[in-house]
Amino acid sequence: MSDQEFTRTLGYANAAFDLLKRSGIPPYPQFYELLYTYATGVNPSLNNRINTIFRSGTVPSADLAETLYNEFLKSDVNDRMSSVSERMHARIEAVHEAIDSAMTTANAYSGSLQSATGDLERDLSGDDMRLLATRLLSETRRMQDTNRQLEIKLEASREDIAALQRDLDDVRRESMLDSLTKIANRKSFDEGLEDAIREADKSRGPLSLILLDIDHFKNFNDTYGHQTGDQVLRLVAMTLKSNIKGKDLAARYGGEEFVAVLPSTDLEGAVIVAENVRKAIQAKELLKRSTNEKLGRITASFGVATFNSSDNAMSFIERADRCLYAAKHAGRNRVVSETELVEIDEIPAKGVSAA
């Protein structure tokens, strides 16, 4: 973890503990997670609800915190996964029961045939032969009925299992998307970056990383409200996603930070992509939908790094984060690559913060 990321994370933690203390809520792990998530701003729905509670003057309590935790953070993905698993188990059990029933009928039919074989070895009267034929015909029809029922159940099970598989795929896709921006979430990014690193190690091909942060987003959010802030986040996410292609991965890294993983792209190419995204974001004029009020333009700062053989995921991200931090201190709304770090470090900060 870079110094900048450590500082940000520590700030979120301190804010969470301060909220717990001021609200008189016990610092249980789930309540800390609730307010830490609120401090980061990564769950806009949660933030809107808590802000509404604060504005209403409602006295916070452990019961209220528990309700919010269950509603917003207690993962329903696991519940849905369990539901699908239970349905899958029930369907498999039904198939087993149908097969067992068919096996029992088949064994009984086989016994009837063996018995009939023994009867045929004896001299039978015409009446006995007719009775034997009638019995065998009845057994055969019963066997046919059982087979038809088994076919129906197996076909139904095949369709159910196919539907369950689609449900599982949907749950997995949802678990990998950021709920607000509908691009990949942090979990999806972590997995995607590891996959890209393995592929780069194997192919010896280039791999680059872009880390971007919306400039002055907190001030914008405080001035125009969280709903407008959410629109900005969605705008930046879609702009980033529309400027990458192929195996590239766009993800929300956390809060107002986004990241792009660019396999088969060298540092020069990644800088071009970052510049295109930067210009596209700056070119969009924001309009408040409810009032048609012009809110001006937003900008973002970018850090770009390329993978080398000594890197792991953490060191790779940290280098991109240092580039982003340098871009902030160099005046924001610019792209800094790792080759520029020394040059940027020599420029006086002149009181520019990294917000």
pLDDT in tens, 290-337: 677 777 889 999 999 999 989 999 999 999 999 999 999 999 999 999
The radius of gyration of the chain's CA atoms, rounded to the nearest angstrom, is 32
According to the model, what pLDDT value does residue 350 have? 42
Work out the pLDDT band at 221, boundaries 50, 70, 90: confident
Architecture in CATH of 186-345: 2-Layer Sandwich (3.30)
Nearest of 209, 206, 302, 287 to residue 249 by alpha carbon: 209
Residue 196's DSSP bridge partners are: none
Cα-Cα end-to-end distance for the chain? 18
CA gap 101, 146 in Å, rounded? 8
| The pair of three-digit structure tokens given for residue 110, joined into one six-digit string | 């086989």
Given a cut of 80, whether residue 104 has pLDDT beyond it is no
Nearest of 23, 13, 10 to residue 62 by alpha carbon: 23
Q: Domain boundaries in the chain?
A: 3-74, 77-175, 186-345
Report the predicted TM-score, pTM, of the whole model to 2 decimal places. 0.58
Please indicate whether residue 336 or residue 44 has the higher confidence score (pLDDT). Answer: 336
Q: What's the mean pLDDT when you consider all of the chain?
A: 80
- pLDDT by residue (tens digit) across 262-296? 999 999 999 999 999 999 999 988 877 667 777 78
Work out the pLDDT band at 354, boundaries 50, 70, 90: very low
Q: Which residues of 218-244 are buried (b: 16+ CB within 10 A; e: fewer)?
A: eebbeebebebbbbbbbbbbebbbebb
Amino acid at 258: F
